Amino acid sequence: MSDNRLYAAIDNRKVAIIGAGYVGASIAYALTVKDLASEIVLIDTDEKKARGEAKDIQHGIPYMGTSSVRAGTYEDCRNCDLTIITAGRNRRYGESRLDMIADNITTMEDVVRDIKPYYTHGVILVVSNPVDILTYKCAEWMDLPNGRVLGTGCILDTSRLVRRIADYTGLNIEAVKCNIVGEHGDTQFPVWSRLAIAGVPMEEYCGNVGLAWGDEQKQMLYDQVRKMGEEIISAKEKTHYGIASCVCSLAAAVLNQRLTVAPVTSPLEGEYGLRDVSLSIPSIVGVNGVEHRLEEKWTEEERENLHRSGQLLKETLMTI
C-alpha cells in the first residue's frame, strides 16, 4: 500500500478510541451521530465500562447512523484509519494541564506500547492532556512519518474564542476567522493580527459598523475564553462535549479526505524557527494527519509569544 493511501474504502472506515471515559464515550457518540465511520471500537482497561458505553451508543443507531460500535482490545487497532487516544485522568479544578504530566505520561507510554504491535496504518490523534507533551512523546515512541501523530491542541480554545467574537459582533460563527496557538495551556495566545470577519480585518470591520475594538475588547474576550474550561470543571467536574465536537471536525478531514485548516499540535520541523517541540499552529489536516503546517505573517510580538510557549514546553520535556 502506498504512503498516500492510508485509508480503507470509503464505506469501510475504522476508528479505535483508547479510553472509554466521558471524553472517549462522547467522541464515540459524536462520531456515530455524524456517521463518520463504519466501525468504532472502544478500548479501555475497564472492559465492562467499554462494553456498556458501546451498547448504549449502539442501541440508538437505527435513528442516527449506520456505524457499528463495540468494545474491543488493542488487537482492534489493526487496520484502523484513525486511532484516538483519550486515556488518562482529567484535569482537576485549579490545576494546570502541565500538572497532569506525572500521571498521564506513564499512561501514554503504556498505550503506545500496546498499540505498536497492531498498528498497520492510519492517523493517531491525541486528546489526552497535557496534549502538546503527550503528542510529542507519542510521535517519538511511535516513530511514524512527521504529521501522522497530531493532537487536538488549541482547537477547542479557538472554537470558544470564535464563539465569543461572534457573540460580540452579532454575526454567525462562520464569518469569524481567528486562531489560538502555542501551548494548550497558560502560554497560549490568540493571533489577533489575523482576526478577520468575512475576510475583512477586524479593526476595519468594527470601524465600518461603529463597534468598539482595541486592547480592552481583546483582553475582555480572551479572559472569558481562558476561564471557560475551569468554569465548566467547577460546575460539572469535567469537560467532554466541546472536545468531542472538535474531534469530529478533525475525524471528518481524515476519514472523508476533506482537507481542513485547524490549530492542532504536532512536532514542528523548523516552522517559525522552532523544532523538537509540539505546538499548535494553523495546519492543514487530511488523510495523512498534518499534511502541512502554515507559516502565516504574524507580528513580531506574536512570534515571540510562540517562542516563549515553545521554550516552556522544551524545558518541560527535559524533565521527563
Phi and psi torsions of 132, nearest 5°:
-65, -45
Question: Regarding beta strands 82-85 and 123-126, do their DSSP bridges make them parallel or antiparallel, or are they unpaired?
Answer: parallel
Considering only CA atoms, which of 290, 263, 292, 295 is closest in space to residue 279? 263
Residue 295 near residue 176, CB atoms below 8 Å: no
Residue 84 near residue 18, CB atoms below 8 Å: yes
Alpha-helical regions (H) of 37-121: 47-58, 101-115
Q: Which three cell numbers stand for residue 246?
A: 472538535
Catalytic residues, which ones?
A: 184
HEC assignment per residue over 157-176: HHHHHHHHHHHHHCCCHHHE
Residue 146 near residue 133, CB atoms below 8 Å: no
Instruction: Specify the 3-state DSSP secondary structure of 271.
Output: helix
- Give 117: exposed, middle or buried? Use CB within 10 Å, 0-12, 13-18, 19+: exposed
